[in-house]
Amino acid sequence: MDFGTIDFIVFASYLLLIIFIGLWVSRTKKGEKKTSSDYFLASKSLPWWAIGASLIAANISAEQFIGMSGSGYVIGLGIASYEWMAAITLIIVAKYFLPIFLEKGIYTMPQFLELRFDNRVRTSLAVFWLLVYIFVNLTSVLYLGALALQTIIGVKLIYGIIGLALFSAIYSIYGGLKAVAWTDVVQVIFLIGGGLVTTYLALDYLGGEKGAFAGFGNLLHQVPEKFDMILDKTHSNYPELPGIWVILGGMWIANISYWGCNQYIIQRALAAKSLKEAQRGLVFSGFLKIIIPLIVVIPGIAAFALNADITKPDEAYPWLLDTFVVSGLKGLAFAALIAAVVSSLSSMINSTSTIFTMDIYKNYFNKNASETNLVTTGRITSGAALLVAVLVAPQLVTLEQAFQFIQEFTGFVSPGIVAIFIVGLFWKRATSNSVLWAALTTVPLSFGFKFLTPDMAFLNRMGFVFLILLAIIFFISIIESKTDDPKGIDISKKLFHTGTKFNISAIGILIILSVLYTLFW
């Protein structure tokens, strides 16, 4: 891609703006020092709109812009189920999960597991999350972001990986969640605005003189097979999206795990001013999720219809940028892509350090750690995690569809996480031993299914593993105890009460999604 002077100015301005905001909001008054609440939970001061924007910025990364566009190129609109079903999941999490999490006053998801079960469960899940964040999430985001830099402006992969890591580290390691969340508000503007520019230009080209709306109509006419939300069994990509079972089966496990039990997502809600602000923030992000496929899936379909000159699907989005985005807008579109990468990196780094510091370091190495010591440990952990990810990321160069890789391998852990949280939140009889067995069984059971039933769709595999783990928890709990667990959570209707604005918004999301699925069934 040929960058003009104006493109470099736009992109450089974006970089400087993010660094300035990150460092500005991280400042402390003379003589004051950051506490663990300041660093890991943004002083519990986030309003609903910042929470919603930060959730989307944390979620939408190179794995969507690059990976999901690649899947859109290969599979089509069906891959948008990850986005649209997430909108419904956000409503569920806001109404039924958040009231309990905020009432407990927790810093991390593993901490909740100790409050409900015991320290063994907390530690085992903390280790799971640390491994997934560092070796799957951080590495894949770095790789895909660097791949975009390499494809678009010719930066060597390893230099792109190092550059992205350093940019993210400049403000996120020092400032903690407050710096991450408030820069995310700006990042999401670049992310959505720049993303829409790329989509518009591609559709405008397809529409000829009639414009982008006509271009979308032409796209529907040229490649109608790419607009099936529910894939037929004869479809070559049925194993990735197994028809109606996407809606009825394993996709719920993936979404609940990600949006309801995932530290680097829930951490924003834990940092809210209040429960009402947290719930409004999640429903706001639900509305944003509905439009995300327009930014990250439609471009991939457009690239397919235009016979993109690429060697693998994950090059579809960079090809569009190079082909259709004119000088003057390239800097904005490129800033959107980098914003998506850096915001997710910063979020993952902060959550990795939160889990290690609060669940491992404070729990095992220094139970009486001072606030200053916890913040220092968090910063050191952030740097170490980022360094490991930089060393591992280049090994992902052989991937064809990175998005599918991420979903499948996080899916080895997701069934166990969801099973444990569901019974922990809503079944008082569940015992610590029963969920510990589920935690230890989820990965080998998932691997066993993968190798014994290689033709089974991984989403269906997640569903079966989830049901087996629930059965394990049920039988062990029944055998161990005839009464409710003393740490069981008392549930009442009052706990799950939500306001009129939330309820109306939730209904609005459900109506919109019903229409979309009806149109593209």
| Segments making up each domain of the chain, as ranges | 5-397
* C-alpha closest to that of 43 among 53, 54, 52, 33: 33
Q: Give the pLDDT score at 467.
A: 94
Q: Give the pLDDT score at 393.
A: 86
Distance CA 324, CA 201 (A): 6
Q: How far is CA 430 from CA 434, 479, 481, in A?
A: 7, 11, 9
Q: Give the pLDDT score at 402.
A: 56
152-165 mean pLDDT: 86
Distance CA 48, CA 136 (A): 29
Q: Is 272 helix (H, G, I), strand (E, B) or coil?
A: strand
pLDDT at residue 142 is higher than 80: yes
Q: Give the pLDDT score at 59.
A: 83
Q: Which residue has the tokens 């980098």?
A: 338
Q: Give the pLDDT score at 355.
A: 93
Find the helix packing angle between 212-222 and 298-305, rounded to 10°.
Answer: 70
Q: What is the pLDDT of residues 373-410, one digit of tens each?
A: 998 999 999 999 999 999 988 887 765 555 556 666 77
Q: Give the pLDDT score at 320.
A: 86
Q: Taking the domain 5-397, which CATH number applies?
A: 1.20.1730.10
**Maximum mean pLDDT: which of 160-174, 248-262, 506-520:** 506-520
- In DSSP notation, 251-284 reads HHHHHHHHHHS-HHHHHHHHTBSSHHHHHHHHHH
What sign does the CA torsion over 419, 478, 426, 85 have? Answer: positive
Q: Give the pLDDT score at 384.
A: 93
pLDDT band at 18 (very low <50, low <70, confident <90, very high): confident
Q: Phi and psi of 80, rounded to 5°?
A: -65, -15
* C-alpha closest to that of 519 among 214, 80, 211: 80
Q: What is the pLDDT of residues 61-73, one digit of tens each?
A: 766 777 788 888 9
Q: What is the pLDDT of residues 311-336, one digit of tens each?
A: 888 788 888 887 887 777 777 777 77
Q: What is the pLDDT of residues 469-483, one digit of tens each?
A: 999 999 999 999 888
* C-alpha closest to that of 414 among 233, 200, 261, 196: 261
Largest CA distance in the chain: 73
